[in-house]
Amino acid sequence: MTGFGPGDVRDVPERWHTEDAEEVFAGHIFRVRRDRVRMPNGQGTELVGRDVIEHPGSVGILALDGEDRVLLLRQYRHPAGHYLWEAPAGLRDVEGEPLHVLAARELLEEAGYRAGRWDVLVDVFPSSGMSDERTRIFLARDLVQVPADEIDFERVHEEADMPVVWVPLEEAVRKALAGELHNMIAVTGVLAAHAARAGEFAGLRSVEAPEG
């Protein structure tokens, strides 16, 4: 792919031909299908098997207060076998719900805050080699704490006990680079927010911006 310059380094949609597909697993949140994909190999094409995790997608929220602190909450993650400090997040489990509305709901339910300003921070495929999951991470500012008795939501299971802390953004960056934070949304959001702040948040997109 010669001739590509810095201006051409952009992800673009592409779909190689799938000869056939079969569902091999159906769970509560995601499904797994096995595709046979026709791939170019320089001398024609070949059929290659690929397992794909079908995921509804998610949103994450990097909440930044007036003192340049980020909100993190701790949650047990069984597959990873860790307590992780994470940014608030949630599944896209309501058909047609705008993503910033979902993000606002998750910030309220998980952390007890509302935000007066929302911007898109980054869009990512968390595990593009195996899953079609898309995650949009928002930056939430102008935060107001909501009294617990005004929140109509009951936390259960892993969410039943999620302590919340405020960490200075510079310290959160240090923790991410030191390997003390591992959650994808938290690490990506912290580093992206730090970079965006350096540019006075000038390059952020509106909440209606397409994911591409």
Q: Report the alpha-carbon distance of residue 114 to residue 61 in Å, rounded.
A: 11
The CA R_g of the chain, rounded to the nearest whole Å, is 19
Work out the end-to-end distance of the chain between its first and last CA atoms, rounded to an integer number of angstroms: 22
Please, what is the average pLDDT of the chain? 92
Superfamily the domain 58-198 falls into: Nucleoside Triphosphate Pyrophosphohydrolase (3.90.79.10)
Alpha carbon distance 65, 145 (integer Å): 11
Q: Which of 159, 170, 171, 200 is catalytic?
A: 159
Q: How much is the pLDDT for 150?
A: 79
Give the containing element (helix H, strand E) for 187: helix 184-198
Confidence at 3, pLDDT banded by 50, 70, 90: low
pLDDT greater than 60 at residue 120 = yes
Q: What pTM was estimated for this model as a whole?
A: 0.91
pLDDT tens track for 62-119: 999 999 999 999 999 999 999 999 999 999 999 999 999 999 999 999 999 999 999 9
- Summarize the confidence of residues 8-13 as an average pLDDT: 90
Segment 181-197 shows an average pLDDT of 98
Going from N- to C-terminal start, the domains of the chain cover 15-54, 58-198
Q: What is the per-residue pLDDT across 42-65, written as a single tens digit (0 to 9) for each?
A: 676 889 999 999 999 999 999 999
All residues at 6 or more sequence positions from 51 whose CB lies less than 8 Å from its CB, including other chains: 24, 32, 33, 34, 35, 130
Beta-sheet strands, E only, within 147-211:
164-168
Indicate the DSSP class of residue 48. Answer: E
User: Using one digit for the tens of pLDDT, what is the confidence trace for 147-165?
Assistant: 887 777 665 555 557 899 9
The amino acid occupying position 14 is E
The yes-or-no answer on residue 159 being catalytic is: yes
- 65: tokens are 């207060």
| Average pLDDT of the segment spanning 191-203 | 97
